[in-house]
Amino acid sequence: MKQKLALILCLTWTACSGPKNESGYAPVINSRQPVQEVPKTSVQVATEAVKTLLASIMTMPNLAKRAAIWKMDTLMVYEADRIIELKMNDGMGYVPFREEQVERIYEAFEAVLKPIYPDFRVKITVLGLPLHELIPNLYRNKTPKDSSRMPRTTQRVSPIVRN
């Protein structure tokens, strides 16, 4: 019984001694298969391109303060509708954009995504709304004003008593 236990311990120690290939040690067995690089999908390439663009926007001096909180939550590709939807985090929704800024943001994202998806439209949503709907009425020139954001004006009834 002691001999069997000693033999098992000896075999265990020899097998677990490490990958040294010297006399008296266990032979090296390399069970790893050669690593093959998996090609990236177009969605992965697009996601990396958008993240790179956001990183470059954050280095611009006039946008760095506000853009530091901009992050992409999700990139959705709708093949049937030919739409790429970028769902951004809530931080981007609290910036009072102007129409020109929104146009430049769309142009920047389209410039990055058009080489990957040439026939697709880019749609940017923040807080569940398209980005152009987040422009305050004060800054809207081309886009029609949103009547739901305007204060309600009621006809004032003429007073009964006059001075």
The tokens describing 42, both together, are 């177009």
Boundaries of every domain in the chain: 42-142
β-pair partners for 87: 74, 125
Distance CA 80, CA 60 (A): 36
> Which of 3-7, 18-22, 37-41, 135-139 has the weakest average pLDDT?
3-7
Stronger pLDDT, 83 or 157, i.e. the higher one: 83
pLDDT in tens, 16-64: 444 444 555 555 555 556 656 667 788 888 888 888 877 776 666 665 5
d(CA 83, CA 38): 26
Q: How confident is the model at residue 1 (pLDDT cuts 50, 70, 90)?
A: very low
Q: Does the pLDDT at position 6 exceed 50?
A: no
